[in-house]
Amino acid sequence: MARRALGPATLAVVQAVDALASGGWAVACSGGVDSLALAWAAHHVAGKRGTPVRAVVVDHAMQPGSDAVAAAAVARLAGFGLAAEAVRVTVADAGAGPEASAREARYAALEAAVQPRERVLLGHTLDDQAETVLLGLARGAGVRSLAGMPVSRGVFDRPLLGLGRETTLAACAELGLEPWADPMNRDPRYARVRVREVVLPVLERDLGPGIREALARTATQCREAHDLLSELAEETDPALTADCLHLLGLAPGLRRRVLADWLAAEGVRDVSATHVDAVERLVTHWRGQKGVDVPGGRVSRRDGRLLLTPASGDGRLR
């Protein structure tokens, strides 16, 4: 019997996956529409190539019955022949919020589950990229955040970044797959949901179609700028990264990047553009200030150099 031709949406997803280099794949699948379409396409392409593929379902244990949802996703994947395992994680909120904490736990679990010479495929789409850029804009973030999600980083690949969510929805419909609808994806308490359900539709309606694509192009351009700044920052002598006279002579964009990297190297987490700007003023507008508070400590200027004083466990400066 001849194999049924792929529908147009399914074909688009398959072609996006087929553009990846050959090798073993582990598909991160929640059972939602994007990752389910990706999992089917990866299974299809790997079968044609004769290369290994499997799926990993991360159970965040953040909702009642999450174990049953994960088990259902594993069963749904097995329904079209893709072997899968469920991995349960503990999401510890360290102050970054539930979304960020869940993402950190998920990525850590996926990295721990990856096998040698295996790539992890993520189902982020054009819509996810547009939402990420808009959230970065709302935070007043720099090019690092506006660069959005890279197509590839570390062991992770995102082959669907060029496709809209309507394509993955249509692919699941063509294939007769019933994706799981995460209730958190409709909860307006989360900023990303408000961007998805309210902000992007308004922009598309009032400014015309193509907003998602424009935001994705912005992400690409910002990533190129980010990569250039990274290269230039890496060329800075480590002995001079906290030297105020050296920093004063750098171009503003490069200076802020060097400062952000210096703060990260000193162990400061969750560095925002506001923190970097405040620290930069110790270099460019020095008036004998006492210092600038940053997460986990305070940055001060002493003898022409920046100094980070970490906070003790009770939050007081040491």
Q: Which residues are annotated as a binding site?
A: 30-35
Q: What distance in Å separates the CA atoms of residue 256 and residue 108, rounded to the nearest whole number?
A: 29
> What residue numbers does the annotated binding site for ATP cover?
30-35
Tokens of 10: 């399914």
DSSP per-residue letters across 276-295:
HHHHHHHHHS-S----EEET
Which residue, among 296, 268, 301, 274, has the nearest Cα to 285 in the 3D structure? Answer: 301
For the chain, the maximum distance between any two Cα atoms, rounded to a whole number of angstroms, is 82
What are the beta bridge partners of residue 103? Answer: none
Q: What distance in Å separates the CA atoms of residue 270 and residue 119, rounded to the nearest whole number?
A: 27
Ramachandran class of 16: left when φ > 0, alpha when ψ lies in -120 to 50, beta otherwise: alpha
Q: What are the φ and ψ backbone dihedral angles of 216, each rounded to 5 degrees?
A: -65, -40
Cβ pair 70, 78 in contact under 8 A:
no
Query: What Å distances lie between residue 119 and 73, 110, 230, 262, CA to CA?
Result: 20, 10, 25, 31
